Structure 1
Amino acid sequence: MSTQVCEAEFLVACLCAAWCGTCREYRDGFDALQIRFPEVGFAWIDVEEQAEVADELDVENFPTLVIQRGKRVLFCGPMLPQHFLLERLIETFLAQSEETSAAYAVGTAERRSWQDVADIRSRLPQ
């Protein structure tokens, strides 16, 4: 795991599996978004090879994405494998103030439930 991923304010983690054809097809576009947003940390997590990182999440569909600002989980769930959707979501979160992100992270019962179970950043190797 790169230092940039661990130290970046924003983290985008893609939870996938090596055997998944959709994941393999999604990878190049995910890597391209990493180039497009150098200020964001990106992590590709194989749910089988890195089970300790993803175990608490019940990943049923691929790709499943987690987006965090610091320790706050802003998004957790499957996303259609269309890169423009992730790009737009990243742009939206980057445009938020820290206060707006903090309020958003706890704005619904679902998002409040993500805060412990989907905190990928705390489980990444440093």
Structure 2
Amino acid sequence: MATIEITAENFESTISENGTVVLDFWASWCGPCRQFAPTFSKASESHPEIVFGKVDTEDQQALAAQAQITSIPTLMVFRDQILVYRNAGAMPPAAFEDLLGKVNALDMDDVRRQIAEQEASAAADQA
């Protein structure tokens, strides 16, 4: 699948309507962003089951602020509408492929259970 442009208008629907979504927050003036772009593009062609989206932080400043992007490139990976990975910095191709494999292998029932436990613990701490 080709990489799609993510904007404030399609951000929520892209995440809610797809199983796995990988977002690259970038800017044209960013050297590491330009270095990572071919790796991201190649992965998008190799993994048609994953939605790959790019967020131009210059054009989508409000969206970048809402996502609390403080450095670029920043990768965010969602699986079943849950943010499962977030990190700033470009990745070498092998590390990016490894990340995609790990995201695909996640036991999402276990992830949801862990989130529920964390939320219960936080609620108990506040009580």
Aligned partner (choices 90, 99, 106) of residue 89 of structure 1: 99
Is there any run of 5+ residues in structure 1 with no aligned partner, and where?
113-126
Q: How does 1:47-86 map to 2 (within 5 A)?
A: 47-86=57-96
Normalising to structure 2: TM-score of the pair?
0.71
Higher-Rg structure is 2
d(CA) in 2 for partners of 1:58, 1:64: 10
Q: Which of 31, 34, 47 is the equivalent residue of 2:41?
A: 31
Counterpart contact for 2:77–2:86, Cα < 8 Å: yes
CA gap 1:92/1:52 in 2 versus in 1, 3 angstroms: same
Contact in 2 for aligned 1:8/1:39 (Cα 8 Å)? no
Give the 3 Å change call, closer, same or farther, for CA 60–70 of structure 1 in structure 2.
same
CA-based RMSD: 2.8
After superposition, the Cα gap between the structure-2 partners of 1:24 and 1:73, relative to the gap in structure 1 and judged at 3 Å, is same
CA–CA distance in 2 between the matches of 1:51 and 1:79?
19
Letter in 2 for 1:75: Y
Residue 18 of structure 1, CA deviation: 1.0
Change (3 A) 1:81 1:11: same
1:16/1:8 Cα in 2 relative to 1: closer, same or farther (>3 Å)?
A: same
Mark the CA change 1:27 to 1:51 in structure 2 (over 3 Å): closer, same or farther. Answer: same
Q: Distance in 1 between the 2:31 and 2:70 partners? A: 15
Q: Is the 8 A contact 1:74 1:104 kept in 2?
A: no
2:24 to 10, 14, 23: 14
SS at match of 2:66: coil
The one-letter amino acid paired with 1:8 is: N
**Pairing 1:98-109 to 2, within 5 Å after superposition:** 98-103=108-113
Q: How far, CA to CA, are the matches of 2:117 and 2:99 in structure 1?
A: 17
**Cα distance per residue 1:30-56 (max 9 Å; x no partner):** 010011111000001111111232212
Identity of aligned residues (%): 21
